[in-house]
Amino acid sequence: MASASEVPEPRIDVACLAACFRELTEETAQIPRPLRDYINYEAMARDAQLNGEVFAIETAHDEVHVFWTR
């Protein structure tokens, strides 16, 4: 039986997670039009995932479910 350290951790596509962050940001904040192109949603998603702020799982139907850990 393989130990937990030998099992590879699944990785969620950062672009897919970035789309979730874009949607959340656009629904909860008003960003001035001149600043919209400067927001790096992929970096936001990557940082949140690396910091353990979000947990995401991908289903067999290519759907991604994102959960906040804090």
Strand partners, 67: 55
Query: What per-residue confidence (pLDDT) applies to 4?
Result: 54
Query: What per-residue confidence (pLDDT) applies to 11?
Result: 58
One-letter identity of residue 64: V
User: What torsion do the CA atoms of 69, 67, 58, 12 make, to the nearest 10 degrees?
Assistant: -50
For residue 10, pLDDT over 60 is answered with no
Torsion over CA: 9, 14, 19, 20 (sign): positive
Rounded CA separation 38/31 (Å): 11
| Tens-digit pLDDT profile for residues 18-64 | 888 999 999 999 999 999 999 999 999 889 988 999 888 888 887 87
Domains of the chain: 9-68 (1.10.10.1190)
Query: What per-residue confidence (pLDDT) applies to 49?
Result: 87
Strand intervals (E) in the chain: 54-58, 64-68
